[in-house]
Amino acid sequence: MRGFVRRTRVEAAIEWIDGNSAALEGEPIAFDAAHGRVLTADVTAQIDVPPFDRAAMDGYALRGEETDGASDYNPLGFRIVGEAFPGRPCGDSVEAGTALRIMTGAPLPAGADAVVPAEFATEADGRVEISAPVPPGKNVGRHGEDVRRGAVILSAGRRLRPQDVGLVASVGVVEVDVVRRPRVRLLVTGNELTPPGEPLPEYRIYESNSAMLRALVERDGGAIESQRNVPDDREAIRAGLVDAGADVVLVSGGSSVGAEDHAPTLLAAEGELAIHGVAMRPSSPAGMGRIGTTLVFLLPGNPVSCLCGYDFFAGRSIRRLGGRSPEWPYLKRRASLGRKIVSAVGRVDYCRVAVIDGCVEPLAISGASILSSTVRADGFVIVPAELEGYPPGAEIDVFLYDPAPA
Task: Say how far apart CA 361 and CA 337 lie, in whole Å.
Answer: 6
Range of 256's domain? 10-24+181-321
Domain check: are 35 and 156 in the same one?
A: yes
Quote the pLDDT of residue 49: 96
Contact predicate 156/30, CB 8 Å: no
Q: Report the chain's mean pLDDT, rounded to a whole number.
A: 93
Pairing of strands 121-124, 127-130: antiparallel
- Is residue 304 in some structural domain? yes
Question: Is pLDDT above 60 for 275?
Answer: yes
Q: What local confidence, expressed as pLDDT, does residue 403 receive? A: 64
Classify residue 174: in a domain, yes or no: yes
Cα 282 from Cα 309, distance rounded (Å): 8
For residues 88 and 98, membership in a common domain is answered with: yes
Same domain, 242 and 342: no
Q: What is the pLDDT of residues 68-88, one digit of tens each?
A: 999 999 999 999 999 999 999
Q: Helix, strand or coil for residue 215?
A: helix
Does the pLDDT of residue 125 top 80, yes or no?
A: yes
For residue 390, what pLDDT is reported? Answer: 95
The domain that holds 202 is classified in CATH as 3.40.980.10
pLDDT digits (tens, 9 = 90+) for 157-197: 999 999 999 999 999 999 999 999 999 999 999 999 999 99
**Residues 169 and 42 reside in one and the same domain:** yes
At 406 the pLDDT is 38
2 belongs to a structural domain: no
Residues 114 and 149 in one domain: no
- The pLDDT score that the predictor gives to residue 263 is 92
Q: Are residues 232 and 295 in the same domain?
A: yes
The CATH number assigned to the domain holding 169 equals 3.90.105.10
Same domain, yes or no: 192 and 270: yes
Domain CATH number, residue 374: 2.40.340.10
Region of residue 376 (left: phi > 0; alpha: psi -120 to 50; beta: else): alpha
CA dist., res. 243 & res. 240, Å (int): 6
What pLDDT is stored for residue 405 in this prediction?
44
Q: What is the pLDDT of residues 237-252, one digit of tens each?
A: 999 999 999 999 999 9
251 shares its domain with 299: yes
Assigned domain for 281 exists: yes
- What is the per-residue pLDDT for 199? 92
Structure confidence at residue 368 as a pLDDT band (50, 70, 90): low
Structural domain contains residue 305 = yes
Residue 4, domain member (yes or no): no
40 located within any domain:
yes
Would the CA dihedral through 159, 160, 164, 167 be positive or negative?
A: positive
7 within 8 A of 278, measured Cβ to Cβ: yes
Contact assessment for residue 400 and residue 330, using Cβ atoms and an 8 Å cutoff: yes
Q: What is the pLDDT of residues 5-16, one digit of tens each?
A: 689 999 999 999
Is residue 1's pLDDT more than 50? Answer: no
Whether residue 171 sits in one domain with residue 33: yes
Tell me, what's the pLDDT at 371? 78
For the whole prediction, is pTM greater than 0.85? Answer: yes
Asked if pLDDT for residue 367 goes beyond 70, the answer is no
Indicate whether 209 and 159 sit together in one domain: no
pLDDT above 90 as % of the chain: 88
Same domain for 63 and 197, yes or no, is: no
Predicted confidence at residue 273, as pLDDT, reads: 96
| Residues linked to residue 101 through DSSP beta bridges, in sequence order | 60, 83
Q: What would the mean pLDDT of 281-309 be, rounded to a whole number?
A: 94
User: How many domains are there within the chain?
Assistant: 4
Whether pLDDT at 257 is above 90 = no
In 271-378, DSSP assigns E strands to 272-276, 280-281, 287-291, 294-299, 331-337, 341-342, 348-356, 359-362
Count the Cβ atoms, other than its own, within 10 Å of residue 41.
Answer: 14
Do residues 356 and 378 lie in contact, with contact meaning Cβ atoms separated by under 8 Å?
Answer: no
Spell out a b/e string for 123-148, using b for 16 or more CB atoms within 10 Å of the CB, else e: eeeeebebbbbbeeebbbbeebeebe
Q: What is the pLDDT of residues 90-124, one digit of tens each?
A: 889 999 999 999 999 999 999 999 999 999 999 99
Q: Are residues 344 and 250 in the same domain?
A: no
Among 141, 171, 194, residue at a domain's last position: 141
Residue 319 has pLDDT above 50, yes or no: yes
108 close to 140: Cβ distance less than 8 angstroms: yes
Burial class of residue 320 (count of CB atoms within 10 Å of its CB; 0-12, 13-18, 19+)? buried
Task: Pick the last residue of a domain from 295, 321, 347.
Answer: 321
Cα–Cα distances (Å) from 325 to 144, 311, 316, 318, 348, in that order, read 33, 13, 8, 10, 22
pLDDT of residue 365: 61
Is residue 383 classed as helix, strand or coil in its secondary structure?
strand
Q: Does any domain span residue 3?
A: no
pLDDT-based confidence at 372, cuts 50/70/90? confident
DSSP code per residue over 230-246: E-S-HHHHHHHHHSSS-
Separation CA 252–CA 4 (nearest Å): 19
Distance CA 1, CA 5 (A): 12
pLDDT top residue among 256 and 11: 11
pLDDT at 219 over 90: yes
Phi/psi of residue 204, nearest 5 degrees: -120, 165
